[in-house]
Amino acid sequence: MSYFLDPCIPLGNIDGAWERIQKSLPYISLGNKNKLQIVVVGGGLAGASAAATLAEQGFPVKLITYNDSPRRAHSVAAQGGINAAKKIREDDCDGVNELFVDTVRGGDFRAREASCRRLAEISSSIIDQCVNQGVPFARDYDGLLSTRRFGGALVSRTFYARGQTGQQLLYGAYQSLMRQVGSRRVELLPRRDVIEFINLNGVIRGVVTRNLLNGQLEVFQAHAVILATGGYSNVYFLSTNSIKSNASAVWRAHKQGAFFANPSLTQIHPTCIPVGGEYQSKLTLMSESLRNDGRIWLPRRSHDIRDPSEISESERDYFLERLYPSYGNLVPRDVASRRAKELCDQGFGVGNDGRSVYLDLRDAIQKKGAQEIKAKYGNLIEMYERIVGEDPMTMPMRIYPAPHYTMGGLWVDYNLMSTLPGLFVLGEANCTVHGANRLGANALLQCLADGYFIGPCSIHSWLEGHTFSISSHEMDQACQDALENTKKRIDDLINVQGEIPVDIFHRALGEIMINRCGITRNESGLLAGLEEIKLLKQKFHHQVRIPIEINCPNPELEKALRVADFLELAQLMLSDALSRKESCGAHFREEYQTPEGETMRDDENYAHIAAWEYVPGSEPIKHLENLSFSLLKPNKRSYQ
C-alpha cells in the first residue's frame, strides 16, 4: 500500500517562498541555544559548513567524521566547478530563473520544484560567502570572477578554481569550522564511524560511533542530528568516489524509519579513466569541463585497432556533435554516457577491451595553443598522464562512463528533515533537488546551500519545541539498546571467520550492480540482479573473514560493516529501478525509450519521488511524493 508524503512546501507563490519562511522562523534565545546539543555527522562541504554556521549562531555542536581531519572529506575531490546565478557583468543574460529552469529540466522533472527554485535563489550568496572566506576562484582579465560552461547548460555560469574547485570550497568551509573548534563552539570528533542511531520513541536523539583507533563504542546524545555523509556510489565498488565513501549512516537511519528516496537514480559520469585491470581500486574522473575544449569521437569503422593518429578526419565519428548539434559535446551526462556505451556495445569502442571513447584536445591545442590548454586543465592532464602513462597533449585521452553521483538519498521535506523527527539530512546524502539527472556543477551548490543557509535556518523550528533536557531513564535505556544492537552486529561479523576477504565480496557486488543497474536497466536484468544479490549476501554472512582484534584499528571490520549495508541497499536500488516503469534522466529502462533511443518519461504515472519505508523481515513499502510544477510545464527533454 502506498501513502502520500507531505513535503511541507510553503503556501503561496514558490518564487520568493524561502525568503518568506526565513522571516517567520522562531527566535531561540542565546541562553536556550547554549543548552541545545547538535550532532553533525560528516565534515564534507555540507557538514563542515553546517557545523560552522550553527556554531556561529551560538549552538554547541559536535562534528563526527571517520576521516582523520575534515579537510580530507570526499568533497575535496570535486574538480569542475560550482554553478551560481550571479551576474558578473551588466550584459550577462543569466539569472535565477535560467538556473532554476536548467535545474528542473536537468532533473527531468523528477525533482521538487520549490527546492530547485530555492537553490537558484540562494546560489549567488554562496559565491559571496566563499569569496569572503578566501576561496581563490579564477578571475578574468579585469579582475572579476570568471566562469565556464558545464554540461546541460547553454550559458556559462560555473565558477571554478582550476580543476580543484571542491578542494578550495572545502578548505573555505573547513577553515571556518576550525575557527569554531578553536573557540570551543565545535567539538571535533575525528576517526569515528557512526554505525547506529539513538531512537527514543521514534525521535532521533543521538548516535553510536565506533572509535576507529581503539574500537570502543561511544554514545553522543543530541537534541538534533544532522547527517551530511555524502553519496553511496561505492555500492558499485568501482566509482569516482573516495574509497571510504559509504552508505552506512543513511542505511542505518533508514532501518530506524527514515524513508529512502529514489535509491536507484545514480548518475553515471561520461568522462572517467576506464577500468585498467584486476585489482583496480577506483575510477578517476576527468572533469566534465574538459568537454568545453575536448571533442569526443570514435572510429567510423568497428574494431578499428589503429593508433588514433592514423585515423583521418573523415574516418572519425564525432558522435555527440553529429547527434546533438546545439549542445554537442556538452549534452547532459546521461545522454553522453548512453551514447558511448551503445557504440562500445556495437564494437566501435577503443582501448584494450573496446570499452572507451576518445576525448581529444588536438583541435583546441591547435586553435588556442598548448600553453592556454595546459593553463586551463593542467592538473587533469597530469593526473591522466600519471595514471595511464600517456600524454593527453599528444594522444587523445580514453574515457568511459563510471558511477559517480547518487541522486537518491534519504527523503527530506522542504526543511531538510527526514521522516524520522530530529534527523536532518544535508548534501549528497539527501534527495531534494537531484531528480533524475541533476545538472553538472549543481552538487557543490546544493551541499553549500544546505550547509550554510538552509539547514542552519530550518532546524530552528524543530529545536524551538525541544529545548528540554534529554537525559532521562528512558533515554539511558535507548542508548543501551543501541549499543547492544551495534555490539551484536560487530560480533556476528567477526565470528564468521570464513575464508574470503571483504573486498572480494565488494567487487562481486559492484559487478552485479553495474551490469544490472548501471547505465541502462531492464526488467529481466533487474530481477536476475535481485537473485544474485540474495545469494551474495548469504555467502558474505557465512564466509567473510575479518581479523579478530577489535580493540585496535581494524580497517577490515570497517569495510565489512559498510559492505553488509551496501548489500542491503543494493536490493532496494534494484527494487526501486524495477518499480519505476519509465525512463527519466539517468534512469534508463530499455523497455521505455523513443524510436530515436532517448528516454521516455511517463508523467502520468511516475511524476513522483518514490520514498521507501523499511519493514523488518518483509518487503519495503513505497510511499509517494507527488511532484507538481507551477512555474514550468513538464516538457520533453531535447538537446538537439
Partner 1 sequence: MKKISLVFRIWRQKSQLSKGQFVEYTLKDLSTNLSLLEALDKLNEELILNGDRPINFDHDCREGICGSCGFLVNGQPHGPKDATTICQLYLRNFKDHTTLTLEPLQTKTFPVIQDLVVDRSSLDRLIMSGGFCSDDVGKAPDANFFKVNQTDAFSSFQTATCIGCGACIASCRNASASLFVAAKLAHLGQLPQGQLLRSKRASQMKHQMLSEGFGSCSNNLDCEAACPKEISANWISWMNREDD
Ligand X SMILES: Cc1cc2nc3c(=O)[nH]c(=O)nc-3n(C[C@H](O)[C@H](O)[C@H](O)COP(=O)(O)OP(=O)(O)OC[C@H]3O[C@@H](n4cnc5c(N)ncnc54)[C@H](O)[C@@H]3O)c2cc1C
Q: Among all residues, which ones are annotated catalytic?
A: 333
Helix axis angle for 248-256 and 555-579, nearest 10°, is 60
User: With CB under 8 A as the contact rule, which of the stretches 100-108, 239-247, 323-331, 560-568 interacts with partner 1?
Assistant: 239-247
Separation between Cα atoms, residue 21 and residue 118, nearest integer Å: 11
Q: Which of 25, 243, 527, 535 binds partner 1 (CB under 8 A)?
A: 243
Q: How far is the CB of 429 from ligand X (least distance, A)?
A: 6
Q: φ and ψ at 373, to 5 degrees? A: -65, -40
By C-beta, is 420 or 429 nearer to ligand X? Answer: 429
Neighbouring C-alpha atoms within 13 Å toward the C-beta of 32: 12
Nearest CA-CA partner of 268 in 514, 519, 45: 519
427 binds, among ligand X, partner 1, none (CB under 5 to 8 A by kind): ligand X
Shortest Cβ distance from residue 83 to ligand X (Å)?
Answer: 7
Question: Of 272 and 482, which CB lies nearer to partner 1 in the complex structure?
Answer: 272
Which of ligand X, partner 1, none has residue 174 at its interface (CB below 5 to 8 Å by kind)? Answer: partner 1
The verdict on 145 binding partner 1 (CB under 8 A) reads yes
Q: Which residues bind ligand X (CB under 6 A)?
A: 41-47, 64-67, 73-75, 77-82, 165-166, 193-194, 228-231, 240-241, 245-246, 248-249, 285, 404-405, 427-429, 441-444, 447
542 scored as a contact of partner 1 (CB under 8 A): no
Do the Cβ atoms of 376 and 305 come closer than 8 Å? no
b/e per residue, 268-286, with b = 16+ CB within 10 A?
bbbbbbbbeeeeeebbbbb
C-alpha cell at 4: 502520500
- Contact partner at residue 349 from ligand X, partner 1, none, CB < 5 to 8 Å by partner kind: none
Residue 204 β-bridge partners: 199
Return the one option of partner 1, ligand X, none that residue 447 interacts with (CB less than 5 to 8 A, by type): ligand X
Q: Which of 103, 115, 123, 129 binds partner 1 (CB under 8 A)?
A: 129
Stretch that binds partner 1, among 25-33, 97-105, 173-181, 225-233 (CB under 8 A): 173-181
Q: Which helix (H) or strand (E) holds 556?
A: helix 555-579
Measured distance CA(134)–CA(181) in Å, rounded = 19
For partner 1, the binding residue among 16, 29, 128, 367 (CB under 8 A) is 128
466, burial (CB in 10 Å: exposed 0-12, middle 13-18, buried 19+): middle
Cβ neighbourhood burial of 182 (10 Å; 0-12, 13-18, 19+): exposed
- Going by C-beta distance under 8 Å and a sequence separation of 6 or more, which residues neighbour residue 203? 420, 421, 422
- The option from partner 1, ligand X, none interacting with 552 (CB < 5 to 8 A, set by class) reads partner 1
Q: Is 95 in the site for partner 1 (CB under 8 A)?
A: no
- Closer CB to partner 1, 2 or 497, in the complex: 497
> For residue 606, which of 590, 589, 594 has the smallest C-alpha distance?
589
Stretch that binds partner 1, among 4-12, 221-229, 384-392, 459-467 (CB under 8 A): 384-392
The single residue listed with the C-alpha cell 579564477 is 138
Alpha-helical segments (H) within 194-326: 248-256, 319-323
Return the number of the residue (81 or 422) whose C-beta is nearest ligand X. 81
Asked if 315 contacts 569 with a C-beta cutoff of 8 angstroms, the reply is no
Residue with cell 584494450: 352
- Residue 67 is a binding residue for partner 1 (CB under 8 A): yes
Closest separation between CB of residue 518 and ligand X, Å?
Answer: 17
* Residue 57: closest CA among 464, 468, 457: 457
- Tell me the closest approach of the beta carbon of residue 589 to partner 1, in angstroms: 32
Considering only residues 32, 97, 156, 175, which one is a binding residue for partner 1 as defined by CB under 8 A? 175
**Residue 194: which of ligand X, partner 1, none does it interact with, CB under 5 to 8 A by kind?**
ligand X
Of the candidate residues 16, 26, 136, 369, the single one contacting partner 1 (CB under 8 A) = 136
Contact call for residues 202 and 478 (beta carbons, < 8 A) = no
**Taking CB within 5 to 8 Å according to partner kind, which of ligand X, partner 1, none is near residue 405?**
ligand X
453 lies in the binding site for partner 1 (CB under 8 A)? yes
* 511 belongs to the binding site for partner 1 (CB under 8 A): no
Judged by CB under 8 A, the number of residues near partner 1 is 80
